Amino acid sequence: MCRDLKKSRFMHLSIAALSFLTMGGVSLTLASADSPKEAKTRYGLASGTGPLNTLLINGQPTTPKIAGNSAIFVQKIAESGDTDVVLLTSVGGQACDAQYSILQVTPNGIKTPTPFFGNCSTAKPSISGSKITLKFPRNIGKYVTTPAEVDVYDLATGILTKNGKNIPAACKLDDGVCQG
């Protein structure tokens, strides 16, 4: 029961954090869906309900495949030109509550997602211009202690930074799967 309360609290905190997103060169759109595992994009339903917690677009697996840990939550957070921006949350277990990935959905399919990132605490995302910023407070948990971090993804350049330093912006595939 404690784990269910923790997941519920995490989901509500993530949704509340998204409500504070700011407007900029990217228009903010919080599409409603019936489940935190689904979000409507202009190009169909993005859903984390595939086999082994994989992401589906319009009921079809993505290429590359994208998989969450215990679950994958999907939230459309912005539109930029003909691109819909989706925040993926890989819900973890006892050692790591969540990790995040940013996915761009276009009329021609998806662009390679970012690797899953974060320090296992709840993200506080915001959008300014073409930059998506996720702020993570220091995480002191039962199994892991991690420092605070700020991750920024620039939609215009595709550059992902962690505390101001560039990190790989494309998800590393493990047996053809971007693993969260």
For residues 109 and 130, give the distance between their C-alpha atoms in angstroms, rounded to a whole number.
Answer: 20
Chain segment 57-66, per-residue pLDDT in tens: 999 999 999 9
Global pTM value:
0.79
Chain segment 92-114, per-residue pLDDT in tens: 877 788 999 999 999 999 999 99
Chain segment 25-43, per-residue pLDDT in tens: 444 444 445 789 999 999 9
* Token couple for 105: 């959905």
